[in-house]
Amino acid sequence: MTGLTRLSLNQITTKRWSLPEAVRGCVDAGIPAIGLWRDKVAETGLARSAKLCRDAGLTVSSLCRGGFLTATDPQDRRAALAENLQAVEEAAELGTDTLVMVVGGLPAGSRDLAGARQAVADMIAELAPHAGDFGVRLAIEPLHPMFCADRAVVSTLGQALDLAEPHPTAHVGVVVDSYHLWWDPQLAQQIDRAGRSGRIASYQVCDWTLPLPADALLGRGHVGDGHIDFRTLTDQVTDAGYTGWIEVEIFNQQIWDTPGDQTLRTITERHLAHVAAP
């Protein structure tokens, strides 16, 4: 891994940019890939988004996101299934094999965490073969445990792998996101497990910075600004056999308020300093 050859911009990082602006920004910055968001794709149009990326020579490293699979009401479950099938088709049309799945939190008013986790497993089992038919892999993303109640009842890489393993590797993988996983005492062991079983669908990076902001979702920092040792983490992911894209995905209001080209300069500098092989 040298230079920028494996760097991808997850477009939430430049939230104010439309999809065409993000594509243009990546080309200007020498970033060869982009992770797209469904709302931005919808804004530009699916076919046009796909063509813009293709024409610019950008690889679409992932589509964010499917998921929200924990509903217990049958009608809500059918709606979630339909929504996710739609997301699978969009991923295929955009030319990416990776659909990032944020699995959802506890249903409103529920304290049944085990039940919500079982609902996720059941929905993954329903969705995975359809995803496979489209050449798309469901990439289960464990989120930081502070989002367990409201956003993702899958909190560790080990748990995501347990969910993935009943399915073919081509149908279900996992996301290794530095922000969500860096604290896990089992992380090295689980990255090794994930890599050796061919389950790492995406490696996403951003840093853990303090204090947490009022909206805990928006506390992520540029690589190098926080507490995560990216050299060690990236070596673990690499040693486990992962050779895919390294996506920079940052939720942070201050970064969103920064001009996109400046953000991309910071991203490429930090990638070269902390993530890419020296």
Backbone torsions φ then ψ of 204, nearest 5 degrees: -110, 140
Does 183 contact a second copy by CB under 8 A?
yes
Window 184 to 223, contacts with a second copy (CB under 8 A) = 184-186, 208, 210-212, 214-216
Q: Could you tell me the smallest distance in angstroms from the CB atom of residue 113 to a second copy?
A: 7
Which SS3 state, helix, strand or coil, does residue 243 take?
A: coil
Task: Give min distance, CB of 148 to a second copy, in A.
Answer: 4
Radius of gyration of the chain (CA): 17
92: number of Cβ within 10 Å = 18
- Residue 59-88 contact track with a second copy, rule CB under 8 A, x = bound: ------------------------------
Instruction: Give the nearer residue to a second copy in terms of CB position, either 68 or 245.
Output: 68
User: Which amino acid, 82?
Assistant: A
Q: Which of 226, 247, 248, 251 binds a second copy (CB under 8 A)?
A: 226
The amino acid sitting at 193 is R
Q: Nearest-CA neighbor of 69 among 56, 78, 60? A: 78
Q: What does the per-residue mask of binding to a second copy show for 145-174, with x meaning CB under 8 A?
A: xx-xxx----xx-xx--x------------
Binding-residue total with a second copy (CB under 8 A): 34
| Binding residues for a second copy restricted to 85-144, rule: CB under 8 A | 106, 111-114, 117, 144
SS3 8: strand
Cα 29 to Cα 20: distance, rounded to the nearest angstrom? 14
Q: What distance lies between CA 5 and its chain's CA centroid? A: 19
* Only segment of 15-23, 130-138, 181-189, 237-245 that touches a second copy (CB under 8 A): 181-189
3-state SS, residue 201? strand
Q: Rule CB under 8 A: say whether 179 interacts with a second copy.
A: no
Distance between CA atoms of residues 233 and 119, nearest Å:
31
What's the closest the beta carbon of residue 139 comes to a second copy, in angstroms?
19
Kindly tell me which residue out of 166, 227, 239, 241 binds a second copy, with binding defined by CB under 8 A.
227
Tell me the two tokens of residue 123: 């929905």
Token pair belonging to 17 = 């940019």
Chain positions contacting a second copy, by CB under 8 A: 106, 111-114, 117, 144-146, 148-150, 155-156, 158-159, 162, 182-186, 208, 210-212, 214-216, 226-229, 232
